[in-house]
Every structure is written in structure tokens, then in C-alpha cells.
Amino acid sequence: MPVSHKAERIQTALRTLPMFRGLTPEVQAKLAAIATVRDYHRGDFLWHEGDDSDSLTLIVKGRVKIVREAAQGDVILEIFGEGEPVGSIAVYNYMPYPASAIALEDVSIFALPRRDYFELLDRQPEFARGIIRELTRLTVALTRKLAEARGQRVEVRIAQLFLAFADRMGKPVEGGIEVPIQLSRQEIADLVGTTVESAIRVMSRWGREGLIVTREKSFLVPSRERLAAVLESREET
């Protein structure tokens, strides 16, 4: 019997997502029967703050931002990319999502019901270790972000943001390192805790100086060393 398009997409996700690579074909076949792959367009909500967290969600394609709504404006807490779990802390703790998830670009996600997620954690050590690594990375990243935001100039915070992007998702290309992510100036401002006017000022100046070049759907860092040099002056001015 031919494999349906839906089943083929799920099987492809299971083969390509790093967390599932250590699973036996039998376990992967079982997951393929109960998991789903969902598609979203840029700007679509995967979920809203307060929604039930009933499935483990991993990104197959695209990037997702996690947003906390506040009286002073939305705050972007984190950005997740291909292969990473999103909202796993809420799922693990049986709590509603503490923030909203929004597609930064066209996104495909792999969703596994919570019951089956916990069964995997109990029975598959490799999968459990992968989840622990991702949760640890997220905790460290959030802690570092809070520490870096204290007393740092806007230029330093934006440089730290793009250096982290370059290390995490950067691709060597002719002319530097490409960061394949599409962010507005407002989103950059939200990520570093500043005003959109400040983000526009810094990014415009850096564009003229060739420090960070804004492309249609990505950014180019011509020299990681030059961008890192911005961190040498950290005092508040």
C-alpha cells in the first residue's frame, strides 16, 4: 500500500529531527502512527499565552518566536529554530503555556501528544538526554540574557544577540556568516529590551559600516571579530 503524503511527512520528520535519530525503527513506526505535522505561515500563532500545553512540539522547518504580552508592549523571550523543542517546559510541568508562540516565517512543526512524550522519556534514554540538553540550553540562555541586559549599552546588547545567532544558526558564506532569520527592527528591539528607534539607529549605522548587513530574509555578519569587538566597551554611557 502506498505511503500517504501525511505519513511520509511524519516519517521524514522522525528521520531528520536529532532527538529521534537514536530510536529504533519499531519505536519510530509507533510514533508515526500518533504524531502529526502542522504548517503555519509567518505571523500565525502556534498557541496563545494561557492555552493548554497538550503536545510536545518540535520545529521541522522555520523559526518561532516566544512572546510575552505586557502593558508596555510585547517582549520576545526567545527564538527557536529547526530541530528544537518549543514549549517543552510547560508540557513537562502540566501547565498552560506562559507565553505565546508565533511563526517568524513559514513553519512546520512535529507534534506528539503529552502521554506519548512521557512514555518516550521513561523508556528511551537517548531521547530523554536530548530533551534535558535542550532545557538546560534554554535555561542557560535566559539566565545569560537577563545578566547581559543589566547595565549594558544598546550596541552591546545587539552585538551579543547577533553573535549568539551567528554561533547558533550561522552559515559560512562568501563574505562572512549568514544568519538565516528574518527580524524587523521592532523584533530586534524587543529581544534586547530597547526602543525601536534605538534599534533602527544602531542597525542603520552598522549597515553603513558593514558590521551587520540586513538582507531580505537574513542578516550577514561580514566579520565576527569586528562584531565581537563591540563587547569590549560594556560600561553604561
Q: Which tens digits make up the pLDDT trace of 130-139?
A: 777 776 766 6
**3-state SS, residue 87:** coil
Euclidean distance between the first and the last CA atom of the chain, given in angstroms as a whole number: 68
Give the integer Cα–Cα distance in Å for 15 and 201.
44
pLDDT over 70 (residue 221): yes
Contact 83, 15 (CB under 8 A): no
pLDDT over 50 (residue 2): no
Q: Which domains does the chain have, with CATH numbers?
A: 5-148 (2.60.120.10), 151-232 (1.10.10.10)
State which amino acid sits at residue 7: A
Supply the pLDDT for residue 72.
65
> Within 13 Å of residue 126, how many CA atoms lie on the same side as its CB?
9
Read out DSSP for 155-217? HHHHHHHHHHHHHHH-EEETTEEEE-----HHHHHHHHT--HHHHHHHHHHHHHHTSSEE-SS
State which amino acid sits at residue 116: D
pTM of the model: 0.71
Average pLDDT over residues 54-58: 90
